[in-house]
Amino acid sequence: MANRASTRFLAGVIEGFYGQPWNQAERFELLDRLAASGLNTYLYAPKDDLKHRALWREPYTPEELGQLTSLIARCQMSGLKFIYALGAGLDICYGEAAEIEKLQQRLAQLLAAGCEHFALLFDDIPDRLSPEDHGRFGSFALAQCHVANAVFRWVRERSPAARFLFCPTPYCGRMAERKLGGENYLETIGRELPPEIDVLWTGPEIISREITVEHVREMQRVLRRKPLLWDNLHANDYDGRRFYCGPYAGRTPELRKEIAGVLLNPNCELALNFVPLRTFAEFVRGSAAWDARHAYLAAMAEWWPRFATGGQPVPLEDLVLLGDCYYLPFEEGAGAEVFFQRARALLATDPAEWGEAAGKFLAQSARLRELCARLTELRDRPLFYALSRRIWELREELDLLERYVTARRENKSSAAALRSDFHLPGTYRGGLVPRLQRLLAPRADGSFMPPAAP
C-alpha cells in the first residue's frame, strides 16, 4: 500500500500552475490538509513566482526568504517533504560554468533556510540551443543532463538524503511522439541521468484522461526508472471559465506499484480543491478497487457543510448536481450529463412533441439556476469568490435556455418573442476572444476547421 509510511513513494500536491500563486495562509491550510490525509509531499513550483522561473538568477529578498523558511518549517513539523523547484530553462546557457554556479547559489539560499529536496524543471520552454551550446553538446537532452547532473552532485554533497526531481521538456506522450526536444530525447535522459534522479511525467497527454499501467511500464523502459507522475487532471489554469471538483479518476490502484509517486497539480483556486484532494488521498491510501463516483459522492457530503448560507440551506442533492456541472476536463458528472442531453433533445424536437419533457427540463434548470443565486449568500466568502464568475456564466446560459423553451412551448416563434433583454449582442458572449473562437470549429478528432458557411 502506498501511504505516508512509504517514504520513497511521493504523494501530495504541486503548486505548479500558471496564475497568481497561493498566499501563505492558503499554503498552511493546504499543508494541514495534506498531513491530515496521510499525504507526504508539497512541491513548490508556482510558474508566476518570478524567482522560480522568469528571474531564476535573482535571490529571494529577506522577506521573501522568510516566507519560504516558514513554509519549510511547517512542512517539516507536519511530516511533509518540501521540494523546491527551479525553472531555469527559458534562457539558461547550458555550457557556461557561471550559470551552474548561479543555480547552486540559488539552491544554497534554500538549503540555508532548511530545504532538503529540490527539482530542476525544463518544461514549457523553447526546444532549441544556442550555437555555442549546440556545438558543445550536440543535443538538447545532453545539455540539460550536463546541468542537472552537476547540480544533483552538488546538492547531494550538502543534503545526502535529498530527493532530486527533473522535469523533461517533452513531459507527455504526445510531446515525445512529436519529437519535442529532438530525436531520442527521453532515451538520452534515461541513460545520462543517475537513477537516483526522479523524472516527472504527465502521462499520454498534458492533461491525461487515463494513465494506464501499460503506458507507465513503457515509460519505465524508456526512462530506465519508475516515472514520478505530475498529474494535471484537475488543473484549470488553461481555461479560466472552468474548474474541476470531480474525483480522482482514470487511474487504477495497480498503477501505484509502477510509479515513484504521484503529485497532483490542482485548480488554481485552493477553495475549489476539497473533492479533488480528498479523493486523491483516498486513492493513494486505499487497497481495494477504486470507485471514483462513490468517492466523489462521499467527498461532496464532507464538503457540504462549507456551503452554509445566510439564507436558505443548500440541499446536498443540488450541490452534487452543481459539482457534476464542473466535474472533470473530459466529462460531466452523471447528473449534468443527463441534464444536458435533456436540453439537447428538446432543442432538436418539434415543440408539439415535447409533452412533459419541457416541464421537467424547466424545473431542473430553474432549481440549478436558483442554487447559483443562493450561493451569493455563502458565509465562506473565499469559496464564493472562487465560484462566482463561473456560476454567473452558468446562470446566464440556464436563463437563456429557459426563456427559449418557454417561448417555444407557448407557440411563440417570432424573433421578438425569442429575444432576451439580458443577453444583448456585444455584451453577451462578446469580445475579441469569443469572436476568434468562432473562426475555427473543433472536430471530434482534435483538428480544427472553419465552420460551414451560413
Name the E strands within 178-337: 197-201, 228-231, 261-264
What values do phi and psi take at 158, rounded to 5? -105, -25
What element of type H or E holds 384? helix 381-409
| Separation of alpha carbons 216 and 210, rounded Å | 11
| Separation of alpha carbons 19 and 266, rounded Å | 12
DSSP per-residue codes, 64-75: HHHHHHHHHHHH
* H-helix segments, 304-380: 316-325, 334-347, 356-374
| Separation of alpha carbons 86 and 120, rounded Å | 5
Q: b/e string for 67-95 if b means 16 or more Cβ within 10 A?
A: ebbebbebbeebebbbbbbbbbbeebbbb
Q: b/e string for 389-403 if b means 16 or more Cβ within 10 A?
A: ebbeebbbebbbbbb
| Separation of alpha carbons 277 and 264, rounded Å | 8
Query: Does residue 91 have an active-site annotation?
Result: no
| Separation of alpha carbons 360 and 365, rounded Å | 9
Counts for the chain of helices (H) and strands (E), in that order: 15, 10
Strand partners, 328: 331
Task: Answer whether 89's CB lies under 8 Å from 125's CB.
Answer: yes
| Separation of alpha carbons 246 and 277, rounded Å | 10
What values do phi and psi take at 301, rounded to 5? -65, -35
Question: 420: how many CB neighbours lie within 10 A of its CB?
Answer: 13
| Separation of alpha carbons 259 and 128, rounded Å | 30
Task: Answer whether 110's CB lies under 8 Å from 68's CB.
Answer: yes
Of the residues 91, 124, 239, 445, which is catalytic?
124
Tell me which residue of 46, 45, 41 sits closest to 19, measured CA to CA. Answer: 46
Q: Which residues are catalytic?
A: 124
